[in-house]
């Protein structure tokens, strides 16, 4: 059984390749990735002898057609993934997230292959800060940023291709991930690597916004359950249930790194900043038997900090350019 993994040099896709080769020897893994600023071949170094890597663009229809034809299933991670970048320049988001997904869908349709589309809870917009309501598989789409609008569009394309052309596709919408190999533009790695580099962490606004944090291996285990037991045409929400404010997370990072609790700067808030995300993941838990293994967030965060400490060769080359982009954005 051969899996074609799009975006496999990115954070979740690379962890997916590692996780698959560790836990699912029944699969061969081929990766297609265009190596944007967010893609890194080094993330695949530990598995490079066990995978087929194709440096290519998911908008390249002849290439995608060939690769899909040679595979049994497609796991579609490739995307432009960072909200702040989408507010600065939406164009690559339109291209990869919408046109790239369309290109995959057409190849999957021609070759009658199974597709799993990786999406995000951001397609639903946000929830009240003080409420205890949650997103469900039935929540209506209401995206806030160019990133989430293009992810919402890609989900709708998948649903339309399933209904009108009968492709066998599933969708999952996961909450925020953390773990090794995450780009230093994202919240948790940015703060950890700021501290290691002697710079002060940056909190948007007052840091009251809440995210639900899921370890990347728990996300990837859920994806495997969907591949093996999921029903074509179905959508599954994934989330650990562990909700925390950005301020609480930052203070925990500072505590675990032996820094004073107030050793950070407030910076101007992200425009349109979603307040709170929270997924009701009852469906995947009861129907497919998913349970997150990383139930101790503090321990997971500690391990993540240790990974960035031990692997500065991996993140240091990206750090300066990332902070220069943030300086341009005023954040």
Active-site positions?
Answer: 121-122, 147
Q: In this complex, which beta carbon is closest to ligand DAU, that of residue 245 or of residue 287?
A: 245
15 is a contact residue toward ligand DAU (CB under 6 A)? no
* CA-to-CA dists, residue 165 to 3, 58, 159, 169, angstroms: 22, 21, 10, 11
Q: Which does 209 bind (CB under 5 to 8 A by kind): ligand DAU, ligand NAD, none?
A: ligand DAU
Could you tell me if 56 and 30 are in contact, meaning their C-beta atoms sit under 8 angstroms apart? no
151 is a contact residue toward ligand NAD (CB under 6 A)? yes
Could you tell me if 253 and 215 are in contact, meaning their C-beta atoms sit under 8 angstroms apart? no
Phi then psi dihedrals of residue 135, to 5 deg: -75, 145
Show the DSSP H helices in the chain as ranges.
Answer: 11-23, 61-69, 83-88, 91-93, 101-111, 146-165, 187-196, 216-229, 246-256, 282-288, 297-310, 312-329
Q: What residues form DSSP beta bridges with 86?
A: none
- Across 115-124, b (16+ Cβ under 10 Å) vs e yields bbbbbbbbbb
135 is a contact residue toward ligand DAU (CB under 6 A)? no
Per-residue contact string for residues 179-218; x = within reach of ligand NAD by CB under 6 A: ----x-----------------------------------
Per-residue contact string for residues 190-229; x = within reach of ligand DAU by CB under 6 A: x-----------xxx--x-x-x------------------
Report how many residues bind ligand NAD under the rule CB under 6 A: 29
Q: Name the one range near ligand NAD by CB under 6 A: 53-61, 134-142, 202-210, 264-272.
A: 53-61
| Nearest distance, CB of residue 222 and ligand NAD, angstroms | 11
Q: Which does 202 bind (CB under 5 to 8 A by kind): ligand NAD, ligand DAU, none?
A: ligand DAU
Q: Which does 39 bind (CB under 5 to 8 A by kind): ligand DAU, ligand NAD, none?
A: ligand NAD
Binding to ligand DAU in span 270-329, by CB under 6 A:
270, 277
Residues 6+ apart with CB under 8 A from 89: none
Q: Which does 9 bind (CB under 5 to 8 A by kind): ligand DAU, ligand NAD, none?
A: ligand NAD
Q: Name the one range near ligand DAU by CB under 6 A: 67-75, 114-122, 132-140, 218-226.
A: 114-122
Instruction: Give the strand pairing for 51-55 and 28-33.
Output: parallel
Please tell me the total number of residues recorded for the chain in this structure. Answer: 331
Q: Which does 77 bind (CB under 5 to 8 A by kind): ligand DAU, ligand NAD, none?
A: ligand NAD
The whole-angstrom separation of Cα 15 and Cα 8 is: 8
């Amino acid at each position: 059984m051969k899996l074609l993994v799009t975006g496999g040099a990115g954070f979740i896709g690379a962890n997916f390749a590692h996780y698959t080769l560790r836990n699912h020897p029944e699969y061969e893994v081929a990766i297609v990735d265009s190596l944007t600023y967010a893609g890194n071949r080094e993330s695949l170094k530990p598995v490079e002898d066990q995978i087929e890597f194709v440096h290519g663009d998911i908008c390249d229809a002849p290439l995608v057609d060939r690769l899909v034809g040679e595979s049994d299933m497609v796991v579609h991670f490739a995307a432009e993934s960072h909200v702040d970048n989408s507010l600065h320049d939406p164009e690559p988001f339109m291209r990869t997230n919408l046109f790239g997904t369309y290109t995959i869908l057409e190849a999957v349709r021609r070759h009658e292959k199974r597709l799993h589309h990786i999406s995000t809870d951001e397609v639903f917009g946000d929830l009240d800060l003080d409420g205890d309501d949650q997103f469900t598989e039935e929540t209506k789409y209401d995206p806030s940023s160019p990133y989430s609008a293009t992810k919402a569009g890609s989900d709708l394309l998948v649903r339309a291709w399933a209904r009108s052309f009968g492709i066998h596709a599933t969708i999952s919408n996961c909450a925020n991930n953390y773990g090794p190999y995450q780009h230093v533009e994202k919240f948790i790695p940015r703060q950890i690597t700021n501290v290691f580099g002697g710079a002060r962490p940056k909190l948007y606004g007052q840091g009251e916004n809440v995210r639900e944090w899921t370890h990347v291996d728990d996300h990837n285990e859920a994806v495997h359950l969907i591949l093996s037991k999921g029903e074509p045409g179905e959508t599954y929400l994934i989330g650990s249930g562990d909700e925390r404010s950005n301020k609480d997370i930052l203070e925990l990072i500072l505590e675990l790194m032996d820094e004073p609790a107030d050793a950070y700067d407030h910076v101007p808030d992200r425009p349109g900043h979603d307040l709170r995300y929270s997924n009701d993941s009852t469906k995947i838990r009861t129907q497919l038997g998913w349970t997150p293994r990383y139930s101790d967030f503090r321990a997971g965060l500690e391990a993540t900090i240790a990974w960035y400490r031990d692997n500065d060769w991996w993140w240091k080359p990206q750090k300066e350019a990332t902070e220069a982009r943030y300086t341009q954005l005023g954040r």
